[in-house]
Amino acid sequence: MRGRARHHTSMNLKIFAILAALLSSAAFPQKRPVTLDDVDKFASRAAPAPVWAPDGSRYAFESGGRVHLYEISRRAAKELASLAPLQAAAAKGAPAAPFQWENRRVREARLQWTPDGTRLVILASGDLFLMDVPSGQWRQLTATAAAERDPKVSPDGKSVAFRRGNELYVLDIASRKEIRLTHDATDTLWNGRLDWVYPEELDLGTAYWWSPDSKALAYLQFDVSRQMIYPHGDLQPVAPVFEPQRYPKAGTPNADVRLGVVAASGGATRWMDLGETRDHLIGRVSWRPDSKALLAQRLNRVQNRLDLISADPESGAAKLVLRESDPHWVNLSSDLRLFKDSRRFLWSSERSGFRHLYLYAMDGKLERQLTSGNWEVSEVVCLDETGGGVYYTSTEASPLERRLYRAALDGSGRRVITPEAGLHRVSMSPGCGHVIDAYSSLSEPTRRVLRGPEGNTIAELDPPDRRPVEELDLLPVEILPVKAQDGETLYARLIRPAHFDKSKKYPAIVMVYGGPHSQAVQNSWRGASFEQALAHRGFVVWQLDNRGSTGRGHAWEAKLFRRFGKQELEDQQTGVQHLVGMGFVDPARVGIHGWSYGGFMTLYAMLHAADTFRAGVAGAPVTDWRNYDTIYTERYLGLPSENPEGYRESSPVHFAANLKGRLMLIHNYQDDNVLFQNTFQMMVELQRAGKLFDLMIYPQKTHGVTGLAQRHMREAILAFFERELR
C-alpha cells in the first residue's frame, strides 16, 4: 500500500510540473533558452538567517553589509545600521596572521542579542561591538591586533566570551575588563577551538558553552599533535606559500579531545572523567538547565555506539544515562532538548529503523515514544514546554518532501503545520510562537512566509523570484519511480531536451552524488540550473537517488556498509536501463558527472561499467579511501586494518587499467576536504596503465568552485560532453 501511495505521489508531481511548464510557456511565448549566463545570473542565494530576539517578537538579520530588524507586530523590516563604520573602526595594522584551515561548517555568530532584547553584540572584522537596538548607536568592546572568534553572550547578558588564537577569554561588557580563562595552548593544543574534521563530519559548530547561570564555561580541548599534516601550498606567488593542514586520514590518529569546565571568573579547569577518550569522539555537549550537570554525547571510534553521559561540573564524576548501538553505525543528531526543570529530555533515535522521537526522564528511563512509522523525523525545530508539544520536520507525507509537524508530549497525536506539498526549511522563534517557512516545489519557486504556531500565514517575507519563470524557457522537471532489481522503489529526476521529439535518440548525462546523508531527488524548485542549460543543449539529464541516500530509513542507508560503490552503481545502472527503456535515449551515448562523493561515483562507474557509460567528468573524487578523513570513512568502512578488502574494492585507484571510455578529472589544488592527492594518485595509475584522460585543475580553490572558476568549469564540462557524446 505504501509503495503505491508513493508512486501516485510521484506521478502527480510529474503531471503537475509538466502542465505548469506548458501553461507558463503558452503565457510567455517570448521566453528564451537557459544558458550558462542564466545559471550564473539566477543562481539561488540563501536568505539571510534570522537571529530571533529572546521574546520572539522580532528578529535581526544581516544583508548587504547592513543590519536589519524585522518587527512582527509591524509586519515590516527596517534598516538598523550599516556595518561599514564598525569595520572601519576595527583594529588595523596587525601583522598578517598565519594561514589557518578553518572548516567552513564552524558556526560563529556575527549577530547576537543580549537577553533583555535591547542590544546586539556584533562581530565585525575581528573586533566586538555593542549596538543599541532602538537607536542603532554602537560602541566598541575590543580593539586588538589578533581577531576575536566565536563570541557568545552570557545568559545573564553581563559578559561575552570569545576565543583569541587558541585560548578562551571573557569580557565584562560594562567595564570592558578582560579575563583570560585558559593558559596552556600551543600550536597543537587548542582550547575551545575545533579541529578540521569535527565540524565537517560531526556537524559540531563550536567547542565551548556557557553554563545557564553564567558562572562557568565548558569547553573542548583538542590536542592535534598526532594528526597527520597535509602539505598544501599556494603556488601563485613567486615565493610559494606553505599552508599545512592537520588532516586525519582513515586509520591514523584523531585529535585527543577532553571536556573541561572553567569558572567565568578564571581559575583552574576541572576535567570531566568521561572514561577513555583517545579513540572516542565527543560529538555534542549540553548544560543541564539547572547548571548542575553537563550532558556529553560520546561515540566510539567506528561510531556503532553512542553514549549519553552526565558529568558533574564540580567533581568531574560522570555516569551513563543511555546508550544507542547499531550493527552498522549510529548517526549523531542535534535533537537533544532538555526541559527547563532538568527532569526530562527529548531524544531522537533510529533504533526502530527510522529516526523517531522519545521522551526520557533525566535518569535515562524511557517515558514514551512520541512518533512512529515508516518515515523519518528530519529535525527537531522547537520544544514547546508551555503548550506541551514538539515541532519537527519529517518525511511523513513523502520521502521526497519535508514538512513541519507538531506532536503532543503526552503522546496524544500529531498534526501537520505546513500542509503545502514541497520542501519546507523552517526557523522558529524562542517559545515556538512564530515560524519562518521557506518552501518550494518542482513547479513553484521558493517563497518565505511568516506563520503562526498553527501554520496560519501572517505575512509574506520574500515573494518568490519569478524572473526565471517569466524570462526563461524552463523545461519540465519530472520525478519518476524506478524499480530496483529487488523490487524496491528508487526515485529519479528527469529533464527532457528542448524541442523534445520522442522519435529521436538523445545523448544523456547522469548527474550523480550517491553518498550517505544526501538526497538529490526532492519535490523542490531548481530554477535556472546547470541541468536546464545542458537540456537546452540537447541532452537528456537524469539523476537518481540510489540506496545509501537519506530520507528512506537506516536500513536503506546502511546498504553501503563496509563497501562503497557496488550497491550505488547497481542502482545507477538500473536507472539508466529504465531511462533507455523509455525509448528516446541512445544507450551508446550516456555520460556521467558528479562532485566529491559524486566524483568518486563517476570514476567508479567509468571503471566498473564501461558498457553503460561512454564518458565521465569526475570532480574532486576520492580515489583511495585511505586518503579520506577518519570520522566519515571509518563510520561506513570501518578501520583500514580491519577491512582492507573493502577499502581496496571501494577505491578507483586500483582499477585504472579498466578505463575504456573518455574521462575528465577536475580538482581544486587546495581542496581541504577531498585532498588533491587523490587526483594526483589517480593520474599516476592512469598513466602507468597507458590511459589518456583530460585534466582541469583550479588553483587557490578549496572544495567548492566559485566565482569565475565556476563558470570556467561549467564551460569545460559542457565542451567535454559536446565532444564525447555527440
What does the pLDDT look like over 315-366, one tens digit per residue?
999 999 999 999 999 999 999 999 999 999 999 999 999 999 999 999 999 9
- What's the grid cell of residue 10? 510521484
Q: φ, ψ for residue 599 (rounded to 5)? A: -70, -45
Nearest to 289 by CA among 357, 349, 211: 211
Of 273-287, 318-332, 451-465, highest mean pLDDT: 318-332
pLDDT at 28 over 50: no
Is 203 or 91 the better-scoring residue by pLDDT?
203
User: Are the CB atoms for 50 and 539 separated by under 8 Å?
Assistant: no
Question: Span 273-283, mean pLDDT?
Answer: 90
pLDDT at 599 over 80: yes
Burial level of 645, CB count in 10 A (0-12/13-18/19+)? exposed
| CATH classification code of 475-725 | 3.40.50.1820
In whole angstroms, give the CA distance from residue 365 to residue 372.
Answer: 19
Say what the pLDDT of residue 3 is: 37
In whole angstroms, give the CA distance from residue 717 to residue 714.
Answer: 5
Q: Which residue carries 585560548 as its cell?
A: 167
Question: Span 285-305, mean pLDDT?
Answer: 99
Q: Within 10 Å of residue 456's Cβ, how many Cβ atoms?
A: 10
**What residues pair up with 129 in beta bridges, in sequence order?**
122, 140
Instruction: Please list, residue by residue across 201-234, b when 16 or more beta carbons sit within 10 angstroms of its beta carbon and e when fewer do.
Output: bbebbbbbbbbbebbbbbbbbbbbeebeebebee
Question: Span 393-410, mean pLDDT?
Answer: 98
Lowest mean pLDDT among 194-208, 353-367, 458-472: 458-472
Question: Span 493-499, mean pLDDT?
Answer: 98
Question: Span 442-462, mean pLDDT?
Answer: 95
Residues 6 or more apart in contact with residue 68 via CB below 8 angstroms: 48, 60, 61, 62, 77, 78, 79, 80
- What's the grid cell of residue 587? 544507450
Instruction: Please list, residue by residue across 521-536, b when 16 or more beta carbons sit within 10 angstroms of its beta carbon and e when fewer do.
Output: bbbbbbbbbbbbbbbb
Lowest mean pLDDT among 317-331, 367-381, 451-465: 451-465
Say what the pLDDT of residue 2 is: 35
Catalytic residue set: 596, 671, 703
**What residues pair up with 356 in beta bridges, in sequence order?**
349
User: Are the CB atoms for 440 and 426 separated by under 8 Å?
Assistant: no
pLDDT at 23 over 50: no
pLDDT at 513 over 50: yes
Per-domain boundaries in the chain: 86-293, 475-725
pLDDT digits (tens, 9 = 90+) for 635-680: 999 999 999 999 999 999 999 999 999 999 999 999 999 999 999 9
In whole angstroms, give the CA distance from residue 284 to residue 280.
Answer: 12
Residues in the chain: 726
Taking every pair of Cα atoms in the chain, the longest distance, rounded to a whole number of angstroms, is 78
DSSP 442: S
Say what the pLDDT of residue 308 is: 98
Give the three-state DSSP class for 285.
Answer: strand
pLDDT at 8 over 50: no
User: Are the CB atoms for 162 and 182 separated by under 8 Å?
Assistant: no
Say what the pLDDT of residue 88 is: 96
In whole angstroms, give the CA distance from residue 128 to residue 160.
Answer: 9
CA triple 238-669-545, angle to 5 deg? 165
Nearest to 617 by CA among 676, 666, 569, 566: 666
pLDDT band for 17, please (50, 70, 90 cuts).
low
Say what the pLDDT of residue 184 is: 98
Q: φ, ψ for residue 384 (rounded to 5)? A: -100, 85
pLDDT at 531 over 50: yes
Angle between helical axes of 597-608 and 566-581 (0-180°, round to 10): 70
Say what the pLDDT of residue 25 is: 47
What percentage of the chain has pLDDT greater than the value 70?
95
Average pLDDT, the chain: 94
Is 678 or 102 the better-scoring residue by pLDDT?
678
Question: Span 229-246, mean pLDDT?
Answer: 93
In whole angstroms, give the CA distance from residue 248 to residue 256.
Answer: 12
H-assigned helices in 28-144: 36-41, 84-89
Instruction: Please list, residue by residue across 260-277, b when 16 or more beta carbons sit within 10 angstroms of its beta carbon and e when fewer do.
Output: bbbbbeeeebbebbbeeb
pLDDT digits (tens, 9 = 90+) for 170-188: 999 999 999 999 999 999 9
User: Are the CB atoms for 534 and 592 separated by under 8 Å?
Assistant: no
Say what the pLDDT of residue 13 is: 53
CA triple 280-284-290, angle to 5 deg? 125
Question: Span 12-17, mean pLDDT?
Answer: 51
pLDDT at 129 over 50: yes
The CATH T-level fold of domain 86-293 is Methanol Dehydrogenase; Chain A (2.140.10)
pLDDT at 29 over 80: no
In whole angstroms, give the CA distance from residue 59 to residue 77.
Answer: 9
Lowest mean pLDDT among 380-384, 462-466, 535-539, 720-724: 462-466
Burial level of 241, CB count in 10 A (0-12/13-18/19+)? exposed
In whole angstroms, give the CA distance from residue 588 to residue 574.
Answer: 16
pLDDT band for 67, please (50, 70, 90 cuts).
very high
